[in-house]
Structure formats: structure tokens, C-alpha cells
Chains A and B, each alone.
Chain A
């Protein structure tokens, strides 16, 4: 866990347990309501869905929600500042990574710009003993889990294919094959249930992944085994160049109904709503009530990756409309209106932000290329005769150059 993470592990745990007491009850009593929600005929894929859970309007106004208010009832101004800080630092880190790609220090970067609230809200809802299965864009969730952000950059620089110990922070390696990790999450959750533990699992995926068979299979398995897993879909509207309409004819959260568990759509640019809904879903999982699908309705403000050119498939108007709903701006407006943060706070955060950018930049530039022999390392846990043979052949080949180098 890095020193920069805002919320201490212990406070997250206690926050989780507090919500759990009421959460169990709530989940039990709202079952019928949820059925109504998922069958709502008017539910549309355009974001004007009346069922969108929102606690903070784009203007930063706190709106009441009978169902989910209780999951953030204990939240303090300090907590709100913490969420704000998480989002700002995550965005700063992300911007630095994009810049590092442009400077040739990274081969590729998948920016999370615009999705900070979805990731920080859901990430901060997890408990230390929960397990997270990310895609390759969950930099904000990694932040919440205490993964050193520079660790995320190794694979994008090309010095490893993962590079952190998944069990160190219960944050699995980034998964590039779309949707695969939802099955790993489900299996892990099945294991938790077998162990009799009350931890939960959260699996991240996107609107594009929702078309993958593995995601459908993970819904089936988790439902059949009542596995304690939350499927957190960040619907950022675009799967590279394909809009959500190319993936689905129904709002994604409604998919859950067919598998026999609740689905809910949350404003993915509202960090408070994401925190509340994810806490609710995780508490359901802990209480033995099985899986939940959360669709965080958000927007990928940047390109798919640094290799992408969104001007070929979408217009500026759309982006501008979403910028007005910016997750960080929204919380800032709220903090300012409620007098929860002063100029000093914002100035200090700006300084901290720049320091983080500098640290990331320096760490990436200092990352050495791996040794040639790393190719052969860890191909197998128990070794493999052919790998040994090829390693020896390669060593001999390398050694044959010694004279040529004039050593």
C-alpha cells in the first residue's frame, strides 16, 4: 500500500461493516423493487434513464435517494475530500502516463480519463480482504487498492506483462483479453464461499466486454453457485470505435434479470453514487445473496488507447456534453458549495499532484529493460526440460559473442 492512498484500510473496513448491517436488510426488502426496475419499459440506453442512481447532480447538488442514501450516510467532509483527492491524483497520474507515451517512454497507454468517479467510488467501497479483477484501464481502482501506480506502467512500457503480486493488494493483474477476468472473479468468489469467508469479489469490465461469451458464462456460473461477486460494468459508451448500440439492444444492467440477479444503473460520473451502489452490492455478496450487476454509466473522454483516433468515429458535441458532467468538477462544486474545502486544500492537492506526476515520470524513465534471460523465467513453476534446453542454448549463443565484443 502506498503512502499516497487516501483512506486507511481500517476505516474502509469499518465503513463497510457499518453499511453491511443495514445493507443486508435493505437487500432483503428491496428485492421486488429491483424487479420493477429491471423490467422498466422506458429504460433507454441514452442515459436519460429515470432509473439512473444519482446522488450528486452534475452541478454538484446532493439529491436524496431513499434506497442508497444510507450507504453513504456516515460520510464526512474529510471522506469527500479524500474521494476528490483520489480522483484528482488518478487523473494526474493518467495524464502523466499519456504524456510518457507521447515521449516514447511507454509503448501504449489506456487512459481512464472521465471514468475516475466510477473507479474511485467502486474501489473505495471494497474491503481489504475483497479481491479485485480489473481490465487494463482500472488505474483508479488500483490506486484505491494501494497498488503503486508506477507498477501499472511496466506492461505499457514493455518490461513485463503484469509485474505486481496480485495477492499483495488483492488486485489481480490487468487482463487484456476482453471479459476473461469475469470468470476468474467468479471462480475466486466460489472459492470464498467454499472457505466460508465473508469477503467479496468485484469484477470490472466494459460495455464491449458485455458481448463476450465469458461474461455471459460468468453470469451463469455466479448465479448458479450464488457466488459473492459484483460485476462492475463501466459503460463508457465506446468499445474503441463501436458505440454501445453495437453491443446491445437493452440497457446493459437489464441483462442481469435474465440470469436471476439484480442489475442497477448508476451515474458513473457521480463518485458518491458509485460508492453507495457498490457498497450495497458488496454487502449483498457478503450476506450470501449472490451476484449483482452494476452498470456505471460514464464516458471515455479520451481515446481508447494512445493508438486510437476517436475523431474518425465521434464528434466533439458528444464529448462536450459529457465534459459538463465531469466527475471531478462535480464533486468540486459540491465541496465548494458546502464549504467542505478551502483554497488551501485545492492548492495543496495541486502541489501533491505535480509531485506525483514527477515521481511517476522519474520512475518510468528509471525502469530498466529486463535481462534477456527473463524470457525463460517463470514460464513454468516446476520447470520444463525444453525451456532448460533452450535457455542453455541461448546462453551458449550469447557467450559466443564475447570475443567479438573484444572482452
Chain B
């Protein structure tokens, strides 16, 4: 009996990204991986483990320690026809590159009246919950979503991590790919022959009737836990994995809210001017007569990300999500 190729594997989220990068490097000689320590070390989270060994130093490139230089040279490589996937080692280190990302990368296609494309993926491990030192736990996604010309995505599970990376690399637009670092070691099934959902579409990961919890990246799992806990109290919560922050799938949120009539948005980033604010405003506009309660948000405070011993207080947790659920249902 001929053995069929196993296309479904159980793997950690970090490994899923690694496998996805490997596939992209195999399929397209123009794909490059570049960043600090991505070579021999395999990245500080081992996401690029083994890639340099197999694809060489010319395609998996250890760069000087200069984020603006990494993104700026990636732009030049893209102009030459390459598809660079660059790693910013940690969320808090992206800011030296922010100028290149905002003033150059995001605008090049428009400035050239469409003549030039910028297929650059910027991988950023983001978010807290790992007890890290300062600048290693931030969630700056709204700062990128605010910029026209960029696309911003964040997978919550291994399968999405794999497929969304494939799609991000295939995109002719720059994609900021936020990796939920506290979920790097969470395992899930990845079907490498599956037909993936469109990159910028949200997915209902738990159906419910009483309230919608919307989240992306690391907060999806928390929302699923919150929904499970609420179910024990007889409340039926729907959980929406947004997956993409720019564009946001407002149609999916609207459809869910028109069913449940209540919405709580959860993210680690500060609530003030966060993606939840935009969602609240737009959903209020789209679903004003369907809403039984104002859209509520759970997220970080308007304070610098605290030292590790305080991060559990700062970050949304089960109780804070359930508290918001209770407040919404009380309207």
C-alpha cells in the first residue's frame, strides 16, 4: 500500500513560521530572510532555525545591528526584484526603522504611480506575558495600521502563522507581520496542502449568541478561555479572530454584532487610540440600531509598559475580559 504524504502536522507556532519561510525560500529564489541573528543562531526565538544552513548566507542574511538599515536595504532589494522577509528582533526595537517604514516603504508604490511594488514582509515578535525586560513586550500594531500603504496582520495559531506568512510573502504590498511571541510554543495542526482563508478575512473561532469578543494574535486564546468560562455561567459568547488589523474585516465584525448585539474588543496594546477605538467607532456607525450596549474595550493602560513583575496587572486577563463582558451584558 502506497503511503500518502502526510500534509497535516502538529507543530508549535514558531515552527510553523519556520516551515513557511522554508517553503517560500524553496519556491522562490527571490525570497530573502534578513535580520539580526537570523543566521547561525536561528533568531533569538529560533524562528529562522536551520534556514541559513540550508539556503546559504546570501539568502538568509545576518545583518548589522541597525533596524533602519535592515528595512532601508530591504526596500532597495525589493526595487531590484527581491522579496525580503526581514526580522525585527523585538517589538520595541522597530522604532529606528519606523522612518523607513512610514516615509519610504509605505509610500513607494503610490509615489511611483504604481510602477514600483514593495513586496517586503516585516516580522515583529510582539506583546507581553513572557517576563521580559523593557522594550521586549510592546504591541505597536496601531502605529502601523494608521499608515496607508502598509498592511498589518497577526496570526493567533500555528496554522494561520504558516499560511498567513505564505500570503504575506506573496503580497505585492508591504506587510507588517506581528508574531504573538507568548504563543510561539503553542502547538496546533498545520495542513500544508490546505486552501487557506484570505489573508485579511476574520474568522469565527467560537460561535455564540449573547456577545462578540473580537481579538487578534495573542488575545484570541484568552478570549476563547473567557468564552469557555462564561459558558459555565450560561453566557454564550462568540469569538472572532480578526487576523488582520489593516485592513480590518468590518463586514465580519458587523455580521457577528448584528447577531449578538454586543461587542467587546480585546488587545494588549493600550486602549487609547488602539485598534479597538477604530473598531468601536466604525461598528457604532454600521450597527447603531443593533447595539444593546456601547462597544467596550479591554487592553493596556496609557502608561509605559510596566516592569515584568507588574505585567500581569497591565495585560488583559480572564477576569478583565469577563468584567467587560458583564458590563456589556448589564446594559
Q: Do the two chains belong together in a single complex?
A: yes
Complex Cα spacing A173 to B113, Å:
11
What residues on B are CB-neighbors of A294 within 8 Å? none
| A-side contacts of B172, CB under 8 Å | 381-382
Task: Decide yes or no: A386 and B72 within 8 Å by CB, A166-B116, A180-B99, A381-B173 being known contacts.
Answer: no
Pairwise interchain contact B75-A183, C-beta atoms closer than 8 A: yes
Answer yes or no: B309 CB below 8 A from chain A CBs: no
Q: Which of B58-66, B183-191, B207-215, B225-233 contacts A (4 or more CB under 8 A)?
A: B58-66
B114 contacts which chain A residues (CB < 8 A)? Answer: 377-378, 381
* Contact yes or no, B110 A190, CB < 8 A: no
- With A and B bound together, what is the CA distance between A161 and B80 in angstroms? 21
Within the assembled complex, what's the spacing in Å between the Cα atoms of A385 and B115? 21
Interface bits B220-256 vs A (CB < 8 Å: 1, else 0): 0000000000000000000000000011111000000
Asked if B143 is at the interface (CB within 8 A of a chain A CB), the reply is no
A227: nearest residue on chain B (CB-CB)?
Answer: B73
Which of B8-16, B19-27, B100-108, B298-306 is the contact stretch? B100-108
In the complex, whether A165 has a CB less than 8 A from a CB of chain B is yes
- Interface status of B322 (Cβ within 8 A of chain A): no
Interface centre among A186, A191, A221 (most CB of B within 10 A): A191
Write the chain B residue with the least CB distance to A199.
B80
Complex CA distance for A163 and B111, rounded to whole angstroms: 7
Report which of B58, B64, B103 forms a contact with A224, defined as CB distance below 8 A.
Answer: B64
Tell me whether A384 and B247 are in contact (CB under 8 A).
Answer: yes
B44 CB-CB contact with A under 8 Å: no
Q: How many angstroms from the CA of A166 to the CA of B108 in the assembled complex?
A: 11
Shortest distance between the CB of B103 and any CB in chain A (Å): 5
Is the pair B79, A166 in contact by a Cβ cutoff of 8 Å?
Answer: yes
Q: Which residues of A contact B281 (CB under 8 A)?
A: none
The answer to whether B82 has its CB under 8 Å from any CB of chain A is yes
Q: Among the listed B63, B112, B117, B248, which residue makes an inter-chain contact with A221, where contact means beta carbons less than 8 Å apart?
A: B63
Q: Is the CB of B77 within 8 A of A380?
A: no
* Contact B69–A183 (Cβ < 8 Å): yes
Question: Which listed residue (A173, A188, A218) contacts B77, Cβ 8 A?
Answer: A188
Given contacts A180-B100, A217-B66, A381-B117, contact A186 B76 (CB under 8 A): yes
**A127 close to B (CB within 8 Å):** no
Q: Is the CB of B247 within 8 A of A214?
A: no
A58 contacts chain B at the CB level, 8 A cutoff? no
At the interface, yes or no: A123 with Cβ under 8 Å from chain B?
no
Is B148 positioned at the interface, with any CB of A under 8 Å from its CB? yes
Q: Are A381 and B109 CB-contacts (below 8 A) given A180-B72, A186-B72, A386-B247?
A: yes
Chain B CB within 8 A of A318 CB: no
Task: Kindly state whether residue B166 has any CB partner on chain A within 8 Å.
Answer: no
For A387, list chain B residues within 8 Å (CB). 148
Judging by beta carbons under 8 Å apart, are B64 and A220 in contact? yes
* Alpha-carbon distance between A165 and B115 when the two chains are bound, in angstroms: 6
Instruction: Please tell me if the beta carbons of A166 and B69 are within 8 angstroms of each other in the complex.
Output: no
Q: Are B69 and A217 neighbours in the complex by a CB distance under 8 Å?
A: yes
CB proximity of B244 to chain A, nearest CB, Å: 9
Query: Is the pair B116, A167 in contact by a Cβ cutoff of 8 Å?
Result: yes
- Does A187 lie at the interface of the complex (its beta carbon under 8 Å from any beta carbon of B)? yes
A385 shortest CB reach to chain B, Å: 4
Using a CB-CB cutoff of 8 Å, which residues 68-102 of chain B contact chain A?
A: 68-69, 71-82, 96, 99-100
Question: CB < 8 Å: which of B69, B148, B200, B250 contacts A379?
Answer: B148
A44 to B170, CA, bound (A): 52
Cα(A173)–Cα(B149), bound, Å: 17
Is A160 in the interface zone, CB < 8 Å from B? yes
> Chain A's nearest CB lies how many Å from the CB of B169?
13
Q: How far is the CA of A173 from the CA of B249 in the complex (A)?
A: 34
CA distance in complex: A380, B200 (Å): 14
Question: Considering residues B80, B100, B247, B250, which has the most beta carbons from chain A within 10 angstroms of its beta carbon?
Answer: B80
CB distance from A222 to the nearest CB of B (A): 9
B72 A218 Cβ-Cβ under 8 A = yes
Cβ contact within 8 Å between B99 and A187 = no
Determine how close the nearest CB of chain A comes to the CB of B76; give it in whole angstroms: 2
Chain A interface, DSSP helix/strand/loop, else mixed: helix
Q: A175: shortest Cβ distance to chain B, in Å? A: 8
Looking at the assembled complex, report how far the CB atom of B20 sits from the nearest CB atom of chain A, in whole angstroms.
19
- Whether the pair A386, B246 counts as a contact (CB closer than 8 A) is yes
Give the contact-size bracket for chain A: 35 or more
Task: Give the residues in chain B near A184, CB-CB below 8 Å.
Answer: 72-73, 75-76, 79, 104
- Kindly report which residue of chain A lies nearest to residue B118, judged by CB atoms: A381
CA distance A44 to B109 in the complex (A): 43
Is there a chain B Cβ closer than 8 Å to A348's Cβ?
no
Residues of B within 8 A of A185 (CB): 76
Task: Provide the bound-state CA to CA distance between A172 and B81, in Å.
Answer: 14
Task: Say yes or no for A189: interface residue by CB 8 A criterion.
Answer: yes
- Contacting A173 at CB < 8 Å: which of B71, B100, B111? B111
CB distance from B56 to the nearest CB of A (A): 11
Are B72 and A191 interface neighbours, CB within 8 A?
Answer: no
B151 within 8 Å of A (CB atoms):
yes
Residue interface mask A368-407, B partner, CB < 8 A = 1? 0000000001111110111101000000000000000000
Q: Is A192 an interface residue (CB 8 A)?
A: yes
What is the minimal beta-carbon distance from A172 to any residue of chain B, in angstroms?
7
Residue among B107, B112, B116, B149 having the largest count of chain A Cβ atoms under 10 Å: B112
Q: Could you say which of A187, A213, A217 has the most chain B C-beta atoms within 10 Å of its C-beta?
A: A187
Q: Is the CB of B73 within 8 A of A379?
A: no
A187 engages B113 (CB within 8 Å): no
Q: Is A195 an interface residue (CB 8 A)?
A: yes
Taking a contact as CB atoms under 8 Å apart, the answer to whether A160 and B116 are in contact is no
Is B148 touching A214 in the complex (CB atoms < 8 A)? Answer: no
What residues on B are CB-neighbors of A220 within 8 Å? 64, 66, 69
Chain B nearest CB from A230 CB (Å) reads 14
A191:B63 contact, CB within 8 angstroms: no
Q: How far is it, in angstroms, between the C-alpha of A379 and the C-alpha of B117 when the chains are bound?
A: 11
Can you report 25 A-B residue pairs in the complex whose CB atoms are below 8 A from each other? A162-B113, A165-B113, A177-B104, A180-B100, A183-B73, A184-B72, A184-B73, A184-B75, A187-B74, A187-B77, A187-B80, A188-B80, A190-B77, A192-B80, A217-B69, A218-B69, A218-B72, A221-B63, A221-B73, A377-B110, A377-B114, A378-B113, A378-B114, A381-B109, A381-B117
B-binding residues in A (CB < 8 A) = 160-163, 165-168, 172-173, 175, 177, 180, 182-192, 194-195, 213-214, 217-218, 220-221, 224, 377-382, 384-387, 389
Beyond contacts A167-B115, A214-B69: 19 other A-B pairs, Cβ-Cβ < 8 A, are A162-B112, A162-B113, A172-B79, A183-B100, A184-B73, A187-B77, A190-B80, A191-B77, A214-B100, A218-B69, A218-B73, A221-B66, A377-B113, A379-B109, A379-B149, A381-B117, A381-B171, A382-B172, A384-B173
Closest 6 CB pairs of A and B: A187-B76, A183-B72, A191-B80, A187-B73, A217-B69, A381-B172
